[in-house]
Amino acid sequence: MSKMGNNFFSVSFDLILLDKSIPYDLYVNSSASQERERFVRIYPKNDDLTLEDLKLFKKKYFQLYVHESQRDSYLKSLIQVKGAPDSTKTEVIKSSAILYLDKLFDVDKEFTTELLSETINECKVAVESMVDVIKDYDVSKLQGLIASLSFHDFYTYDHSINVSMYCISLYRAAKPSATNEEIVMAGLGGLLHDIGKIKISTDIINKPEKLSDEEFNIIKTHPTFGFELLNDNPCECQGVDFNIIKRVVHEHHENFNGTGYPKKLNGNDIHLFARVTAIADFFDAITTKRTYHEVLTTEDAIAVMAKTVGKKLDPQLFEIFTKSVKQLVLAGKISKELPEDFDPCQPQNVLPFRDPKGFKVEGFGDKEKTQTFGKIKKKVG
């Protein structure tokens, strides 16, 4: 799904709601010139669209569009579209979430409380739609779905969306009786966990090599930046508990044994959603295929993460997480481990593995592969 001009985005014929009242208007571009787009409404919202109507549209029109102001309504309708694969629906939701996140990272837009509030409201709709689509997904199935999705120019966007999806799955597994609202909050916390990085230099965010001590100390400020951003810009978003979101943003790098940052919280003093996010954050960083480094198999990823249980990760949540990975032999073959200062949010050419004695392990990944993917192309102040 791609945004057209300033006001419209294209939609697939296969993702139009049929035989029910559609909650959005359908448009076509009646102009032959891309510089002079002229959108004309061909079907009104709240009318029932039939299969015969849709077949006629396919014959007459090259592409259908929906007004940007109705994107939320379109996303909410996706769960009711029959026959479309979950991967297609998820790709649409992901594309929308990327547009929403990009508003906050776009240096051409002035940051305001109104912009933040609008973006969080939109992100909430995206998460609500995602919860509906992946409601029956365990971690294994979700990992396969994520692998099928396209990736984009800025690692933080893709990573945040993946983390959100894993948070939804893990929290549902940890709390089978959780309300839909709670699950949405878990996913929204995962989606927004790195919001503080809008105040970090892109030179540091994009650096694929190991950060210097000074650079790592700057990276470590992003949870506090994010917390302050939310605290200093009170938003009005119905159904969003900002106390929870602020805690996830602030605490997702706290370690279970109290060695994390920024406040060295430990155990249950770290919010449950932040502990869920920490596992999702770690898992996605080492299992999702990128062009800048090789990734671990699920089995080896679990083995690497297991070495940090009780240190970085909550033992009970990690046990639930591993049980959500079906048909997994937990005796991982890998003996390497990641250093304690490993930042799951940072793109890296080579995962910085060490053996259990602390010596660096060379040769994991391919330094010759492109180092430009995953880097933001605009300067964030």
pLDDT of residue 167: 97
Q: Higher pLDDT residue, 244 or 105?
A: 244
pLDDT exceeds cutoff 50 at 80: yes
pLDDT exceeds cutoff 80 at 54: yes
> For residue range 237-279, what is the model confidence (pLDDT) as tens digits?
999 999 999 999 999 999 999 999 999 999 999 999 999 999 9
Mean local confidence (pLDDT), 147-153:
80
Domains of the chain from N-terminus onward: 1-84 (no CATH), 89-381 (1.10.3210.10)
Q: How many Cα atoms within 13 Å fall on the side-chain side of residue 86?
A: 16
Mean local confidence (pLDDT), 349-374:
45
Supply the mean pLDDT for the chain.
84
Confidence of residue 358 (pLDDT cuts 50, 70, 90): very low
Rg of the chain over Cα atoms, rounded to whole angstroms, equals 21
Which three-class secondary structure state does DSSP give residue 175?
coil
Mean local confidence (pLDDT), 17-41:
87
| 126 neighbors 96 (Cβ within 8 angstroms) | yes
pLDDT of residue 203: 81
| 274 neighbors 253 (Cβ within 8 angstroms) | no
Mean local confidence (pLDDT), 11-16:
95
pLDDT of residue 30: 87
At position 273, the amino acid (one-letter code) is F
pLDDT of residue 109: 80
Task: Report the C-alpha gap between 54 and 60 in whole angstroms.
Answer: 10
Among the residue ranges 25-39, 80-94, 325-339, the one predicted with the least confidence is 325-339
Global pTM reads 0.85
Output the CA torsion 79→85→90→96 (10° steps): -80
